[in-house]
Amino acid sequence: MRRLLPSEKQKEKQKLRVLIDILSLFPRYFIGPFNESIIKRAQEKGLVTIRLINIRDFADNRHHRVDDRPYGGGPGMVMMPQPVKAALRDVKGSQSHVIYLTPQGRTLTAEKSRQLSRETHLVLLCGHYEGIDQRILDREVDEEISIGDYVLTNGCLAAIVLVDSVIRFVPGVLGHPLAAEEDSFEKGLLDCPHYTHPEVFEGERVPPILLSGNHQEIAKWRQERALKKTKDIRPDL
C-alpha cells in the first residue's frame, strides 16, 4: 500500500476522533476526573472531545424545574421529559449513539467498551432522582448500560466509568498501541501479580523467576498465576 500524504494522515486521525456529550444536572461532577492523567492527555491530543451539558439550561419553565412527582404516587421525583428532550435535540446528529446509564441496563464489559470506542459521537444521559420519564427512554435512547449491580446516587459516576473504559480503546490514547489488548479480560483471565524494586521489601522477596531473565519461563509463570487467581476469584470467567 502506498504511504499516506500528510493531509490524508490528518483525515485518518480525524475519522478516529470521538465526540462525547454528557447530559446531566451536575456538570461539575466531571471536572476532577476528566482533567487528570490519561483522559486529560487524550483530550489535549485531540483524540477525544468531551462536552458537559447541563439539562437544567434547557428547562422551558420559569423556575428551570427539571423534576416532578411520579404518576401513580410513591417516593422520590422523576425527571421531566421536556428539558431532557430539548438538551438531546441540541446535541444529537445523524451519527449519534445515545446511552442511558441505569442499573436496568446491560452490564458494561470490556467488549462493549471496545465497541463504543468505534462510535463517532456518544451521548451519555445521566439520570437523577428516581430516573427519567419512560417516554424519553423509549423514543430517544439507543442503549441502556449499567456499570454494575448496585445503585448510585445518580448516573454521573457511571458515565465517568464508561468514558474511562471506552477511551482506553481509542487508538493513540494509551502509550503502547497494544496496551489495551494486553490487559486482563482480553484473554478472559484476571491479571497476574506485579512486582518492582526493591528486591526485598520488609523481608519478602520478589518471586525469583522474575529475576531469571528467562522470558519464556516468566510468561509461563504469569499465565499460571493468572489462571489460579481467576479460578479462585472469578470461576465464572
* Contacting positions for ligand 4GX (CB under 6 A): 101-104, 127, 130-131, 146-148, 150-152, 154-155, 158
Which residue's CB atom is positioned nearest to ligand 4GX?
131
> C-beta of 80: minimal distance to ligand 4GX in Å?
14
Residue of 103, 164, 191, 225 marked catalytic: 103
Q: Which three cell numbers stand for residue 80?
A: 421531566
Smaller CB separation from ligand 4GX, 47 or 152: 152
Smaller CB separation from ligand 4GX, 116 or 147: 147
Measured from the Cβ of residue 67, the count of other Cβ atoms closer than 10 Å reads: 18
Smaller CB separation from ligand 4GX, 27 or 127: 127
> C-beta of 21: minimal distance to ligand 4GX in Å?
17
CA of residue 75 relative to chain centroid, distance: 30
168: annotated active-site residue: yes
> C-beta of 230: minimal distance to ligand 4GX in Å?
24
103: annotated active-site residue: yes
Burial 89-128 (b: 16+ CB within 10 A, else e): eebeeeebbbbbbbbebeebebebbbebbebebbbbbbbb
> C-beta of 91: minimal distance to ligand 4GX in Å?
19
Instruction: Write out the DSSP string of 38-85.
Output: HHHHHHHTTSEEEEEEEGGGG--STT---EEPPTT--SS-EE-HHHHH
Smaller CB separation from ligand 4GX, 83 or 127: 127
Residue of 130, 144, 164, 191 marked catalytic: 130
Contact 96, 124 (CB under 8 A): no
Helix 37-44 crosses helix 156-167 at what angle (to 10 degrees)?
70
Mind telling me the catalytic residues? 103, 130, 168, 183
